[in-house]
Amino acid sequence: MVGIATMAGKGGGGHVADARPDDEATRSATRMPAAKPRAERPPRTVGDVDPKQPMYYVDDGPKVIALTIDDGPSPVYTPQVLQLLAKYNITASFSMIGENVTYYPSVARDVAAAGHTIVNHTWNHANLTSMKTAKVHAEISQATDAIHAATGKTPRLFRAPYGAWSRAVLDYCASEKLTPLDWSVDPRDWSRPGVKEIVTTIMRTTKTGSIILEHDGGGNRAETVAALKIVIPRLLGEGYRFTVP
C-alpha cells in the first residue's frame, strides 16, 4: 500500500510553475529536500493490474525505455528538445504544468502536434501531500483543463511533483482514469550538475524498462539539452528503443 510519500530525489522539477521570462530564474531556485533513491521504489510497470500504484517502469520488451520531460512548456528549451527528438524519430512524454501551458499554449500545441504524450503535472507544481483533498483535486483538474484548452487533448497520465504520492492523489487519479507516472532514472538535471554528470548517470543506471526523468522547464535547461544530444544517440547505439507509457 502506498502511504504519503517523501520528497523523492528532488526530481520532477522541485519548483513552482515555470515563470514568465522576467522571474524564471528566481522561481527555479526553490527546491525540496532529497529522499531515498528511486531504485528503492516498488517496480510497478504499465502491465501491472493495480491502477492505484505509480508506474516506475515500462514493460514493452527487451531494451525498451521511456523518456519523460518535465516542468514545461518552455518557449526556450521545449522547441530545442522537440527538434532533437524529431532528428532521431523518438516519441517522449512531456509532463506539463498547467500554469505554464496558459503562458505558452502554442508551445504545448507544438508538442502535441509532434505526436508526443502530454502528462498532467498539476497546475503549479505543488506538493500535493500537504494539501486537503479538495485542493488536490483542483490542482489536477485545473491542469487538465488548461492542457485541453491549449491542445484539444485530455491527459491520460499524471505525474506528482517531487514524486510525492498520497492515497488522496492516487484515489483521485483512479477516479479520473489517470495513470500515475513516476520514474526510475533521475540524473538530477534540474540541479545543473554538469553535462558530463547527467550523461554518466543516465548511461550507468538505464536498463530495460527504465523511465528517464529530464526537464525542459523550471530554469536554465541548456545542460539538459546538451546531455540529451549525447545520450540519445548513445542509447540508440546500445540497442535501446523508446516508447511512451
Phi, psi of 21 (to 5 degrees): -55, -30
Phi/psi-derived region of residue 228, left when phi > 0, alpha when psi is between -120 and 50, beta in every other case:
alpha
| C-alpha cell at position 102 | 496558459
Residues 116, 173, 4, 73, CA torsion sign: positive
Q: Is the peptide bond before 73 cis (omega within 30 degrees of 0)?
A: yes
d(CA 151, CA 175): 23
AA identity, residue 83: Q
Strand partners for 68? 93, 213
Residues 200, 205, 209, 210, CA torsion sign: negative
Residues 40, 38, 211, 199, CA torsion sign: negative
Q: Which residues are catalytic?
A: 70, 215
